[in-house]
């Protein structure tokens, strides 16, 4: 009977914990920043990323500064960075990578943006309604970030088509969406880089294992005292009988 009560308590607690985890999932699913490829909200960039991936472009994400990970035959997207101070400080490093042969697509809603300002002395041509700079051995494309947001890309696909045609011409080895500039670092650890849905699954599995551990480690019934066995002398019976015989003499 006691065992059944504990089982019911464990099941109820586990149900409460799973409900709490599900609520947290619904509450914090939309925590990804705007203009991140991880966000499927109105101002996320997931639609552009998924479309390019569907077109068989070699897509990936970047969680480190450009110069540390991207190769010279790669293309890197930086779209409306949510850490503009970091991006501003790293602009010289970013452009050094471009001058060595890298290709950068930098989209930001302010005009001129930080890259336009840094390249104001450089010549550019218009590629669609975006600026295409020749910088050393590399190239930089600048434009507005909201044009590739999920909410706009379906209704105005020309911006995305222009980018796709340029990527085809460049034929890069890898195309990176730089999530590093949205606050996602390689130092965050594997768990934080998992999608939120997978994080919730991991947490639920951990909670279930903890519940099972508590259940099976719980003592059921009264405690049975342990009595240590008394070690007996090998001549004890002889001595007892001898003592008894002496008393009766």
For residue 192, being part of any structural domain is answered with no
Q: Do residues 23 and 38 share a domain?
A: no
Q: Do residues 98 and 6 share a domain?
A: no
For residue 169, being part of any structural domain is answered with yes
- Of 134, 158, 182, at which residue does a domain stop? 182
Q: Do residues 17 and 68 share a domain?
A: no
For a pLDDT cut of 70, what percent of the chain falls above it? Answer: 60
Q: Do residues 39 and 24 share a domain?
A: no
Q: Do residues 206 and 178 share a domain?
A: no
For residue 224, being part of any structural domain is answered with no
Q: State whether the Cα torsion 232-233-234-239 is positive or negative.
A: negative
Q: Do residues 19 and 132 share a domain?
A: no
DSSP alpha helix (H) spans, 126-235: 150-153, 158-170, 190-193, 196-217
Pairing of strands 59-62, 175-178: parallel
For residue 16, being part of any structural domain is answered with yes
Q: Do residues 208 and 151 share a domain?
A: no
State pLDDT tens for residues 201-247. 666 677 667 766 766 665 555 656 655 666 666 666 666 666 766 66
Q: Do residues 13 and 103 share a domain?
A: no
For a pLDDT cut of 90, what percent of the chain falls above it? Answer: 21
Rounded Cα gap, residues 146 and 41, in angstroms: 13
Rounded Cα gap, residues 147 and 155, in angstroms: 10
Give the residue, 82 or 26, on which the prediction is more confident: 82
Q: Do residues 23 and 40 share a domain?
A: no
40 and 146 Cβ atoms separated by less than 8 Å: no
Q: Do residues 99 and 207 share a domain?
A: no
Burial 232-245 (b: 16+ CB within 10 A, else e): eeeeeeeeeeeeee
For residue 227, being part of any structural domain is answered with no
Residues in the chain: 249
Q: Do residues 205 and 94 share a domain?
A: no
Q: Do residues 147 and 40 share a domain?
A: yes
For residue 202, being part of any structural domain is answered with yes
For residue 92, being part of any structural domain is answered with yes
60 and 168 Cβ atoms separated by less than 8 Å: no
| Closest by Cα among 41, 30, 18, 50 to 160 | 50
Rounded Cα gap, residues 245 and 238, in angstroms: 11
For residue 51, being part of any structural domain is answered with yes
The token duo for 119 is 């390249």
196 and 31 Cβ atoms separated by less than 8 Å: yes
State pLDDT tens for residues 146-195. 889 998 888 888 888 899 999 999 999 999 998 888 876 554 454 555 55
State pLDDT tens for residues 48-63. 999 999 999 999 988 8
State if pTM tops 0.75: no
Averaged confidence pLDDT in the chain: 76
Give the residue, 231 or 64, on which the prediction is more confident: 64
Tally of domains in the chain: 2
pLDDT of residue 59: 93
Residue 156, domain extent:
34-182
């Amino acid at each position: 009977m006691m065992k059944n009560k504990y089982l019911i308590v464990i099941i109820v607690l586990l149900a409460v914990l799973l409900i709490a985890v599900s609520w947290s999932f619904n509450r914090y699913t939309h925590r990804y920043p705007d203009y991140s490829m991880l966000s499927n909200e109105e101002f996320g960039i997931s639609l552009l990323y998924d479309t390019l991936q569907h077109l068989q472009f070699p897509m990936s994400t970047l969680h480190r500064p450009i110069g540390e990970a991207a190769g010279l035959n790669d293309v890197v997207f930086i779209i409306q960075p949510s850490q503009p101070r970091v991006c501003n400080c790293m602009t010289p490093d970013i452009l050094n990578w471009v001058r060595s042969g890298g290709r950068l697509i930098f989209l930001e809603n302010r005009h001129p943006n930080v890259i336009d300002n840094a390249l104001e002395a450089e010549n550019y041509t218009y590629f669609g309604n975006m600026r295409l700079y020749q910088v050393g051995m590399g190239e930089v494309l600048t434009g507005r970030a909201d044009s590739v947001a999920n909410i706009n890309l379906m209704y105005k696909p020309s911006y995305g088509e222009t980018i796709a045609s340029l990527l085809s011409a460049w034929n890069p080895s890898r195309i990176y969406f730089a999530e590093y500039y949205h606050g996602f670092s390689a130092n965050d650890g594997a768990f934080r880089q998992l999608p939120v849905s997978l994080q919730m699954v991991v947490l639920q599995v951990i909670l279930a294992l903890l519940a099972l551990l508590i259940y099976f480690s719980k003592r059921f019934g009264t405690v049975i005292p342990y009595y240590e066995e008394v070690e007996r002398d090998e001549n004890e019976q002889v001595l007892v009988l001898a003592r008894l015989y002496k008393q009766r003499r």
